[in-house]
A and B are shown apart, each in its own frame.
Chain A
């Protein structure tokens, strides 16, 4: 390649960098001319400056290498190395550099979720009134339809709330962890707000219940258009109490 010295100043005088100095933020400090400094002390200062510079450069390089290495281990599938250094990796990566690039992988979802909600409230005579099922997912689907730039509130809000709920709860609807309780609250809020927004008339929702259909995407080759697909599974969630939020 190229032969170069180790001197810091070697490449710095290039015109490109000089231009950069000026454009860099902050005013350029005018150098002092009449500063009488003893030559010995000046030499010392220059030396300290250089030592400081080399140290900082070294720190930068080490930090870069460490960061890239740890992010790699975080992103890669679990392996002996990432298992062994798991605490160190997590300490570095979380929360800012957390990432997951399983984009439609290992396989894209082969199901669509259809989430419905019904509510219950005591009417004026004191008896419980249960509403018919309201299709929450249909709201999202119709909002995405013919929209070149769909909103996160339609593509991600309910979809990710449900997958996160499933992750933390598993097949059991009793919340087993703090996170599970939080996600149950979140899902209940989403459902209650969406039902309230699409219902004319008022009445505070006291209880809400969700029902989730898992609808298969037909395998390729099977004729489309023979009616809606039969759900692979139905999950009926327990009634949740809705706590009205102070607005």
Chain B
């Protein structure tokens, strides 16, 4: 997210006539500059919801991640969140009284109620991921995640913590506008009503409607700003705390991390990596540097290589340390910094790849399945395909229109 979407607003005209109106003294210039700045800020805040694709990616990502987590812990659900947990309902409630937490899970000690809550959590995560009635679902998802987190607070790690924070922040955002069932419904409705012009409304409801839209936009932009700031704080503080540690400075930190038995799902692999002392030292230094630098590279093109390096780092953590949930949460959080035109470009890339694959398959003779189908398997891809082929005016102008030319120039 961030500054890269701004060029889509009609700025060239404004920029052109700026040099003409200077010359009324330094004070005047300063005042105008200040007003300009304030105006730009106001437009940024209220103009339009920024990074709608990134918000949707976060929704899909965290909904999916939580669903997978719940399913993975299915055999252990009672031990983690249920009445049979060693952290008994009584202990949990005692802690809630001390900390101010709360959870829907401690409302009843019955096993049946717990199973109901578990199913509710599964359904909520799935629907949130799909973007069905997104605003209501996002609130429910936040309640579910907070409840399950609070119930098992002594079993959580950094990944759970991040998922909780993001679930809370996503309630503020309009994360169901892209790649969602809501978006699909809106598109179908627009197609149905498309030809009949909207009736001219009277002033007051119109004003009310506009006010509501502005408010939704402001909340979304504030929420996304908080998410971005949160991720920056995460990396910044993780890096700064590491700087204080002698093993990170000495380049041996990863040796110790690789030898923790609970974070060693593939001991032979861990030991193999551990043998490359130089590699370990370089990777350790890179980790600290990337984390400390993260907040500062976001406003330039340098963020792409940094995000790519972080992605590989997280994949490494997921595999080597056996922390896929944690790494997944981090990777999804990083996705907030990719601009809309990047996401709008993805379906195009996907289609091109699918077409190439289809062609190759056709050249190789009739394959077992039909070659051109895969592009429709993913809801995202099929959705945007629909959009571009129809040429609906709304987001093609912002997203796909930009994607074709600007993406290339920025690369």
Residue positions of A touching B, CB distance < 8 A: 1-6, 8-12, 14-25, 29, 31-33, 35, 37, 42, 45-46, 49-50, 52-53, 56-57, 60-61, 63-64, 67-68, 71-72, 75-77, 94-110, 112, 137, 140-141, 144-157, 159-161, 164, 178-179, 182-183, 185-186, 189-190, 193, 217-221, 224, 245, 247
Contacts and interface: CB of A to CB of B under 8 A. Distances in A.
Given A14-B47, A95-B150, A107-B246, A22 B80 contact: no
A4 B14 CA distance: 8
B45 to A, nearest CB: 7
A191 to B, nearest CB: 9
A4 B43 contact: yes
Interface stretch (B114-122, B233-241, B351-359, B376-384): B233-241
5 contacts: A1-B15, A101-B234, A153-B155, A164-B154, A182-B95
Given A23-B182, A217-B260, A107 B248 contact: yes
A96 B262 CA distance: 28
A144 B274 CA distance: 19
B16 to A, nearest CB: 10
Contacts, number: 320
A2 B395 CA distance: 22
Nearest to B396: A15
A10 B39 CA distance: 11
Scoring A2, A155, A156 by chain B CB atoms within 10 A of each residue's CB, the highest score goes to A2
Binding site secondary structure of chain B:
helix
Given A106-B242, A107-B245, A179-B98, A141 B261 contact: yes
Contacts of B217: 17
A8 B47 contact: no
Contacts of A149: 72, 322, 324-325
Nearest to A153: B76
Contacts of B324: 148-149
Interface residues of B, number: 127
Contacts of B238: 101-103, 105
Interface of B: 6, 9-11, 14-15, 17-18, 36-37, 39-40, 42-43, 45-49, 72-73, 75-76, 79-80, 84, 86-88, 91, 94-95, 98-101, 133-136, 146, 150, 152, 154-158, 161, 164-165, 168, 174, 176-177, 182-183, 185-186, 189-190, 199, 201-211, 213-219, 222, 225-226, 229-230, 233-235, 237-238, 240-242, 244-248, 252-257, 259-267, 271, 274, 277, 280, 319, 322-325, 393-395, 397-398
Given A76-B237, A95-B101, A108 B257 contact: yes
A155 B208 CA distance: 52
Scoring A63, A151, A178 by chain B CB atoms within 10 A of each residue's CB, the highest score goes to A151
Contact of B15 (A2, A35, A67, A98): A2
Contacts of B261: 112, 137, 141, 144
B134 A19 contact: no
Contacts of A193: 86
Given A107-B256, A150-B322, A155 B262 contact: yes
A218 B217 CA distance: 55
B245 A105 contact: yes
Given A8-B46, A99-B165, A220 B255 contact: yes
Nearest to A74: B233
Q: Ordered nearest first, which 8 A-B pairs have the shortest CB separation?
A: A106-B245, A23-B186, A31-B201, A11-B47, A189-B86, A105-B241, A19-B394, A107-B245
B241 A156 contact: no
A75 B217 CA distance: 28
Contacts of B101: 95
Contacts of B203: 42, 46
Given A52-B211, A97-B165, A19 B395 contact: yes
B215 A53 contact: yes
A29 B260 contact: no
Contacts of A105: 238, 241-242, 244-245, 248
